[in-house]
Amino acid sequence: TLQLIEGRVHDVVAQPLRDCAPDLLLALDEEGGDVTRLDYLRGSRFPGNHALGALDDVTVTRAVAGSLGAELRRAGVNLNLAPCADVVVDPRNPIIGL
């Protein structure tokens, strides 16, 4: 079930796949905030990009990115498909999720 897999991505998914294909590229979209794959049952511990942009603190943003990257690495993920920039040109745009 999803509850059993969450928090065990490395053991349940990544490592068995790498045993078959050591050079496997394991990617997902982990942005923090509302867009999370690793913490989908309880919600991300990391702020989303909109919150980081509103805070406007490069040091905090780098720390969050480093922590999120370390968590992805522990899970066996070696490519994060998270966008580098979401541009809100219309506040009514539902795709951004504001």
Whether 88 is covered by a domain: the verdict is no
Whether 96 is covered by a domain: the verdict is no
Its pTM stands at 0.75
Give the domain range for residue 12. 2-80
pLDDT digits (tens, 9 = 90+) for 66-78: 999 999 998 888 9
**Model pLDDT, residue 80:** 94
Whether 15 is covered by a domain: the verdict is yes
Token pair of 22 as six digits: 């050591």
The structural domain count of the chain equals 1
Whether 97 is covered by a domain: the verdict is no
Whether 16 is covered by a domain: the verdict is yes
Whether 74 is covered by a domain: the verdict is yes
pLDDT along the chain (98 residues), means of 10: 60 85 89 86 89 94 95 90 76 66
**Model pLDDT, residue 1:** 44
Q: Which residues contact 6 (CB under 8 A, 6 or more apart)?
A: 38, 39, 40, 41, 42
Whether 98 is covered by a domain: the verdict is no
